[in-house]
Amino acid sequence: MSKRFCVSLTYAKNDTDKATVAFVVANAAVASDKETMVFLSIEGVRLSQRGYAADIHEQGFAPLAELMGNFVKAGGKVFVCSPCFKKRGLDEAQLVEGATVVGGAKLVEFLSEGSPCISY
């Protein structure tokens, strides 16, 4: 059984339902002792900015900022697609705790060493 787990998320405020569920599943993985990484790309990179998720709260779920904070506190990592980040003019100084801007090689390395990946 793989010790790793990847959640790929390409949405932010353009689909708050997907963004929320992705982090709920990521929390399930990290709680199950998996080395868990959320890969934010396309619009998903906007979630890497401090304060961005503050007003996202899907009915029946915890607020997204709380889900993200709990994920990182439990040891989860957030990788942020570098070209997607730059394309949107986002600010590296405003990264949320636990987020790291990475290139594709980091994702390829994580997956190539053996990891399932679910995409939203």
Partner 1 sequence: MTPVEAAPCCAADLTPHAEWDAGHTGCGELVLLLRNKLLALAPGERLRLVALDPGAVEDIPAWCRLTGHRLLQAKPPHYLIERRSTP
Contact residues for partner 1 (CB under 8 A)? 23-33, 61-62, 67, 70-71, 74
CB of 30 to partner 1, least distance (A): 7
Count of Cβ atoms closer than 10 Å to residue 76 Cβ: 23
Among 17, 35, 20, residue whose Cα is nearest residue 109: 35
CB of 31 to partner 1, least distance (A): 4
For partner 1, give the closer residue by CB, 74 or 117. Answer: 74
For partner 1, give the closer residue by CB, 31 or 117. Answer: 31
Give the whole-angstrom CA distance, residue 60 versus residue 21. Answer: 11
For partner 1, give the closer residue by CB, 32 or 112. Answer: 32
CB of 37 to partner 1, least distance (A): 15
Among 61, 64, 62, 71, residue whose Cα is nearest residue 97: 71
